Structure 1
Amino acid sequence: MEDSSASSPSSPLPPNPSFRLILQEGEEEEAVLLAARSSRDLWLDRLVRSTSTKDLQRLRSSSPLSDFPTSAAALSPARHSTHASSSSSLYISPPPAGPVSPTAGGSGESDATANGRCVLSVLKKDGQVLSTAISSNLVYSGTESNVIRVWKLPEFTECDQLRTRSRRVVAMAVSGFTDQVCAAYSDGRVRVWRRSWACGSVKHARIATIPSTSSYVMSYLTGKDSMRKHMAPITALIVNTTGDILYSGSLDTTVKVWRLSDFRCIESFQAHPQPVNALASGTDGVLYTASEDATVRVWRAGRLFSSSTTSSSAPGSSFTTAHSLTLTLPAKNSPIKTLSLAAEGEALYGGGTDGCIYFWTRARGSFSACQLQYGGALQGHVHAVLCMASAGRYVVSGSADSTVRVWARNPEGRHECVALLLGHRGPVRCVIAYQDDMMKKEELSEATGCGGCTVCSGGLDGALKIWRVNNNGI
């Protein structure tokens, strides 16, 4: 059968010496073209993925096989996997030994692809998109540069920019109750802005840096670590459901608790024996932490200060262990890179480096997060799952295989991949998902209780994409 995607070469091509087959008359041209594609793909598999679409095209055009004719399908980037090391950088691992055919969890790939479409793609000169956050119809995107861009929903127009001298926004969190935007940078510090609205426009004013400069001075003068700074890069930020506490996780294996009213560190504890990769916070005051040690730990908040302490800001205040470990959830020997808690708190999802999404559900009749039980693993991604988000009964996952998958959970607890979003030319580093009022009214399904959703994804290719996922009777 002839390859319909192959186009005839404009000039004769030298045959590949390693490609020796007994060919029938008229098939030599097609065979040489296939050999060229194979050699080209092998060359590209040894390259680190570029940080932008423009760089990717430049690498392809400069390859020693760039003169070989290829079809549109052949120009699509090869899949790579990334693994996080002791630094925040991502590295390319060798490609799989054999062909991999991802599954859609019970739904055909063609059907899953048809359920989602890209409605907008933005490519700025900021470099890789490393973090995103959403609150009050505003989307925040952080990149390698020193600029955080603010986008207004639903039209997704840029309405503000947050600038600092530091670069690489590795994590973000927003408190909707206090209107504070928190961003962690590669220098190990967190910058905080307060947002306000005037005449229909939003403004952001920077109000704090965590730890503060005064903390550095006090530490130098007293010789004590009063600022409680992370000793390694920050990997995760999250605000609790009441909006008054900020959690930060780091490669130094610790989690620190910051009070947003005065930006003081009120607790610091070692969460895992290995680096902390992700955090999640439940409505019942429970904190979830994920680590390179292939476990998810569940912590319950307690008292923040000992009974002898009368003032939280008093020098030398003694801290107790406010968060106590109540449960450890193993993840099949796969480091967990990201966490997402279902909107109702019924399920906890963890993305692993093996491409699986592990999930735990509350025991039947239980209202406690400390009684989670293993529910299974969602398979579909062929490389590490780097980011996740939840919207209603949808769970969205982004992976190092350059794809975004949308999973739907029915009332019985079964999951199905309902959308496969293709378009990124590099690992997908961050995703957010939401259901607006219009979608809830027009697309709500009485059978499953979940309508369509909108997904925003950011990748190491520098692109920020908006996707609409339709219900289609799911």
Structure 2
Amino acid sequence: MRMEQFSSASVDFDDNRQDEEKAANEWERKMAYALVSHEFGLLFEALADGLKSRYAELCSACFISATWLTHMLSLLPDTGIRVAARVCLLKRFILIFKSARDIEDKALSMLALNSFIQDSAGLQDLTPSMKDVLKGLRELKKYSPLAFDMLKVLSEGNESSVHDMWNHKEIAQVDCGSNGEVLSIVCFRDKIFSGHSDGTIKVWTGRGSILHLIQEVRQHTKGVTSLIAPQSGDRLHSGSLDKTIRVWSIDKDGLQCHQVHDMKDHVQSLVVSGSVACFIPQGSGVKVHSWNGGSKLLNANKHVKCLSLAQGRLYCGCYDNSIQEIDLASGTLSNIQSGSPENC
């Protein structure tokens, strides 16, 4: 703010004005140093407690004071007090930055966070919340050059990668709450299909920045967990917790159900190729179903989390952090990777 005032005013400042500004800056540094040095940063603990207060005025006063002192730390000699400030306040500032609706509160917490990212320890403590912090900085980028500078720092100075992060187009949000959670979604040509927890399948078309609902069908009786639309055909496959797989035609008249296959088990993570469908049942293993009617349980000793099917080979991501490959033609199973918590 001071810089903006100076740039908009006359360049010819008198000596008194400059002296006053110098004296004010010096007084501010001395005051901040005296406060943060008392009992080696004991004040930060008090401010952290104040930030948790249910009394709005006290919480606001502590927030402004904590932000100012944290900002001043970057202008003061590092005597180890920054560590005390980080331990007491960093998590509170991150929480405020993530949850604040007021742009001023968001900007103040950003100013405080900027002081903590000047050293590697602060960056490391910020890592678990990095995704939310980056999101907030992108939102503030149009208001503050500081947000863009912080994005560059947090992206290791790669300006082009920062540009790529926010170079996207937002579309309007559509509320589907009346049909429960969105459990699956797939795009096919110019349409978008969404599966919902109440068994509904919705068909949308996107024009410009708005989604238009063009059809809604509810033939599944429970949640639609999977939607598959092979790009080479005009069929949509839906898997559901009602233990069925349905095959739909996609044409100008909308979705029409042509086949219903009883799986006798919950269908999750459905994949389809040629004459077979594979899915994760309620228990362990993977179920392979032929459209002719036969079914077989594979990999029965593994609890599978996700599936992918390509060129007759089924790939299973398992809860024990391993990846397994199954040749559907021969039934041969091989371990691609045995995982551990470190490389999960």
TM-score (norm 2): 0.49
Structure whose alpha-carbon radius of gyration is higher: 2
- The structure richer in helix per residue is 2
Higher strand fraction (1 or 2): 1
Structure-1-length-normalised TM-score: 0.38
